[in-house]
Amino acid sequence: MREVPEPELTCWEPPTYTVDANGKVVGGAPGPIHNWGRWGDSDQRGTANLLTAERAVEAAALVRTGKHFALGLPIGGLAAPSHRGEPLHLFQIATGDAILTGAGTDGADDYLVMALQGTTQLDGLGHVGRGNLMYNGFWSGLVTAGTGARRLGVHHLATGLVGRGVVLDVARAQGVPWLEPGFPITAALLDGTAEAQGVQVRPGDILFVRTGTVTHWYERFGSRTAPFQRLGDETARRDLLDGPEAGLAWDTVAWLHDHDVAVLGVDNLAVECRPAQPGHTWIDFHVAALRDLGLPLAEVLDLDGLATDCAQDGVWEGQCAVSVLPVVGAVGSPINPLFLK
């Protein structure tokens, strides 16, 4: 009988820490800039707690023209690119061909199968951890394939994220249609852009930062009438997904905390710049934002139409509403934020 080789094994050491009955790692500590315990030891909403009813009322007063902008990219067909390898599938049943059966009633329905973070989406607080720790000290082991997120599920944000929205168009402030891939947006650049636009970032704001990345995608891979039609070219797709990308620099973590930003959205794939700055690895920003600050991150936003309108009328603020799907135990959700002026 032919010998069958034994499968290789990976050494494993049991953890030395203890998880308490509330799902917290005993003795776990965040990074130096953090919000752990700020809204209570059991909090699972993070900076979304800053979106109070009072701030929602104040934001409503900013709506003067009724102009509104949807910030989500199209879903369906060759839609937005994504790190998630499986493309979305749209299944239609009971469509108009029922007319041919003579049943007398026409109807249609759809099923959608996709990664929840496969298009314009929100990273929930259970999305990224480090050192066995997630936001507020919860154990990373509470998120499993079998149970989903037993703590920090995105459904805790599904009551709605409503408040003052602010746009910082860094690309336009730099005089370019898009920032070069790999360009780091520093805290000083955020301040400079706000000053140039005549707008202030206040506590509890939903902040959108435009790099022009989506503009660049349309230029390279298709058009707004046929988005990303050339992403069938695998080389181009990998270059887009794995190559350099303009995004936020490391020093903006402290800036976001100092300004008490409630939700951060960027028109790129991963919010932070790629490659990482010296002394950091890619995903460090995600760890600091999601795990330490409890700051939800919105990615792959289409800010072009909104930013163009803001540049025309000089108004860079408005009311913003981000609706999160109440998928219990999920760590992210598709979103289509609405910005009203």
pLDDT tens digits along 39-64: 999 999 999 999 999 999 999 999 99
- Specify the pLDDT at position 78: 45
As a whole number, mean pLDDT of residues 232-256 equals: 82
Q: Sort strands 109-113 and 184-185 into parallel, antiparallel or unpaired.
A: unpaired
* Residue 284 contacts residue 245 (beta carbons within 8 Å): no
- Specify the pLDDT at position 17: 93
Q: Give the start-to-end residue ranges of the domains of the chain.
A: 46-81+114-340
46's tokens: 């993070």
Tell me how far apart the alpha carbons of residues 339 and 278 are, in angstroms, rounded to a whole number.
36
User: What φ, ψ does residue 197 adopt, rounded to 5°?
Assistant: -85, -15
Q: Name the one residue in this structure whose structure tokens are 């994504």.
A: 82
Tell me how far apart the alpha carbons of residues 268 and 24 are, in angstroms, rounded to a whole number.
33
As a whole number, mean pLDDT of residues 138-153 equals: 94
Does residue 198 register a pLDDT over 80?
yes
As a whole number, mean pLDDT of residues 232-247 equals: 73
Q: Topology of domain 46-81+114-340, per CATH?
A: Glucose Oxidase; domain 1 (3.50.30)
Number of H helices, E strands in the chain: 8, 15
What's the chain's average pLDDT? 89
Using the 8-state DSSP alphabet, how is residue 131 labeled? T
Question: Which residues are bridge partners to 59 per DSSP?
Answer: none
- Specify the pLDDT at position 226: 54
Does residue 95 register a pLDDT over 60?
no
